Amino acid sequence: MTLTKQKLIPYQVSDRGPAVEVSDLNNDGMDDIFFGGSKHQPAKIFYQTQKGFFEREIKAFKQDSVSEDISVIAEDFNKDGSTDLFVVSGGGEFSGESSPLQDRLYIGKNGTFEKTELPSYFENGSIVKAADFDKDGDVDLFVGGAAVPNDFGRIPQSFLLINNNGRFTIADNDNVKTSGMVTDAEWTDFDGDGWIDLIVIGEWMSPKFFRNNRGNLEDVTSDYLMEELRGLWQTIIPFDINGDGNMDYLLGNWGLNSKFSATKEFPLKMYYSDFDGNGSTETITTYAREGKYYTVAGLDELVGQLSYLRKKFPSYKDFAGKSIEDIFDKAQLNKSNLLEVNTLSSGYLLNFGEKYTFKPFKENLQVAPITSFLAGDFNNDGKEEVLIGGNYFGVTPYHGRLSSLAGNVIVNEKTTIEGNALGLNFTQKAVRNLKLINFQGAKYLMVIINNDTPQFYKLDN
């Protein structure tokens, strides 16, 4: 889904890849790389040898090249000792029950992969995360659904897939299924009872906490969050940021350096409805100024999707200064579904034992959307830190390029390190993922960039 198909959506949703995984894919003890493909480009695997990496062509990947690979995870799903791959399909090129939106499971066999059957479901997927949440010895999956193609604003479906020795079934859990426009998730035992729980984040929603009640996930968000935090959340990672022994959670959001603005008193609002009665839905994004709400889209953008408005506003002068209530009548707005964002700050959920409170990051980490976190020892002090990647270009020229995030390292609650002090510079790059990879006895950082080649940085020992 792009800004040319649905002209009034607030940002693109067809630019969230590529899917990348680092794992020992042929059981030789060395890290290999899976690169997901975009539409009509097959995924690729690069196997590591003592001399370097070589690509191996996988027939099953070529047969599925019409799909766009958004997320991937490597696990031994059927417990045969070989690594398998689960690939999430998505993007904005397909909609409804189109076969390229079906996720795929590839079983590893003798250094290659063969596709095997999954339950029939279709979604513009965003993320897959694995955990044996029912404690039966098999690795189960949460698959998050992102914005619905050609129907931005409708709540998509997400799925819990129960694994029985490599064969998956869909769990019946309506709370998880309707989580929201999911972008990321984390399996984590947030209540400390020995059963792994699930936190889900996404856009136009608050983080959701699902407690694992002996294999059944229950929505207990109100028990753990001290306030509603509706954001444009992009990524989450567990990290004890204040060193008190209680796990906290870092959250990447849109940041405070765009034309969007959102507060609790005056949230960013998006109206979702069929405004022109043609059977297709539209979204109208609005922001507050001096107590009134105005459309983010200008007259040309609005008329490009809703041509009937040209009669009401034949000139720019007629449109100038008009609030949302002046453009659309009260009945139209009242029948719309309203989605809101009340914070755009990236930050962290600080653990107070039984509750979490949100603390925004400092201003230097709010300059662009944060889209990726990676835990590791990046300053060679023997302790774990978190590296930040971000920036995003899928917006209209009205916003400019959200490209100022250089790649910072969070050491603790009070200390961050600028990327240039570590030899990093992610500015002007739309970072989608960060991975560590071992090669010839050294550790490297792999930076995955949307619509560009990956970058590699060697880490000092």
Could you read off the pLDDT of 327-367 as tens digits, one per residue? 999 999 999 999 999 999 999 999 998 899 999 999 999 99
How many CA atoms, within 13 angstroms, populate the side-chain half-sphere of residue 194? 2
Task: Give 100's DSSP letter.
Answer: G
| Angstrom distance (rounded) from CA 34 to CA 44 | 6
DSSP character string of 251-291: EE---SSSS----SSS-EEEEEE-TTSSS--EEEEEEEETT
Integer CA distances (angstroms), 65 to 70, 115, 305, in order: 13, 13, 32
- Reply yes or no: is the peptide bond before residue 18 cis, omega within 30 of 0: yes
Alpha carbon 304 to its chain centroid, in Å, reads 29
Side-by-side strand order, sheet with 32-35? 20-23, 32-35, 44-48, 53-56
Nearest alpha carbon to residue 404 among 367, 361, 431, 365: 367
Kindly tell me the burial class for residue 311, based on how many C-beta atoms sit within 10 Å of its own C-beta (0-12, 13-18, 19 or more).
exposed
Supply 448's token pair: 């995955």
| Angstrom distance (rounded) from CA 450 to CA 407 | 16
- Say how many C-beta atoms besides its own lie within 10 A of residue 344's C-beta: 23
Q: Is 121 helix (H, G, I), strand (E, B) or coil?
A: coil
Nearest alpha carbon to residue 407 among 391, 393, 421, 426: 426
Bridge partners of 71, per DSSP, are: 88
Supply the pLDDT for residue 4: 54
Consecutive H or E run containing 374: strand 370-376
Q: Is 332 helix (H, G, I), strand (E, B) or coil?
A: helix
The per-residue pLDDT string of the chain (461 residues; one tens digit each, 9 = 90 and over) reads 455 567 899 998 878 778 999 999 999 999 999 999 988 899 999 999 999 999 999 999 999 999 999 999 999 999 999 999 999 999 877 888 888 899 999 999 988 999 999 999 999 999 999 999 999 999 999 999 999 988 999 999 999 999 999 999 999 999 999 999 999 999 999 999 999 999 999 999 999 999 999 999 999 999 999 999 999 999 999 999 999 999 999 999 999 999 999 999 999 999 999 999 999 999 999 999 999 999 999 999 999 999 999 999 999 999 999 999 999 999 999 999 999 999 999 999 999 988 999 999 999 999 999 999 999 999 888 899 999 999 999 888 878 889 899 999 999 999 999 988 889 999 999 999 999 999 999 999 999 999 899 999 999 86
**Cut 0.85: pTM above it:** yes
Interacting residues of 73 by C-beta distance below 8 A, sequence separation 6+: 21, 85, 86, 128, 129, 130, 141
Nearest alpha carbon to residue 402 among 256, 237, 232: 256
| Angstrom distance (rounded) from CA 408 to CA 237 | 15
Interacting residues of 289 by C-beta distance below 8 A, sequence separation 6+: none
Strands (E), 391-430: 409-410, 416-417
Supply the pLDDT for residue 220: 98
Supply the pLDDT for residue 5: 63
| Angstrom distance (rounded) from CA 395 to CA 270 | 16
Supply 302's token pair: 């609005």
The answer to whether 129 and 113 have CB atoms below 8 angstroms apart is: no
DSSP character string of 6-60: STTSSS-SS-----EEEE-SSSSSS-EEEE---TT---EEEEE-SS-EEEE--HH
Nearest alpha carbon to residue 101 among 126, 123, 117, 70: 123
Residue for token digits 């493909």?
37
| Angstrom distance (rounded) from CA 263 to CA 344 | 8
- Mark out the alpha helices in 50-135 (DSSP H runs): 59-63
| Angstrom distance (rounded) from CA 124 to CA 97 | 10
Supply the pLDDT for residue 361: 98
| Angstrom distance (rounded) from CA 296 to CA 287 | 7
Supply the pLDDT for residue 111: 83
The answer to whether 106 and 115 have CB atoms below 8 angstroms apart is: yes
DSSP character string of 217-244: EEE-HHHHBSS---EE--EEEE--TT-S
Residue for token digits 């596709």?
115
| Angstrom distance (rounded) from CA 378 to CA 410 | 10
Type of residue found at 113 = F
* Radius of gyration from C-alpha coordinates of the chain: 22
Supply the pLDDT for residue 347: 98
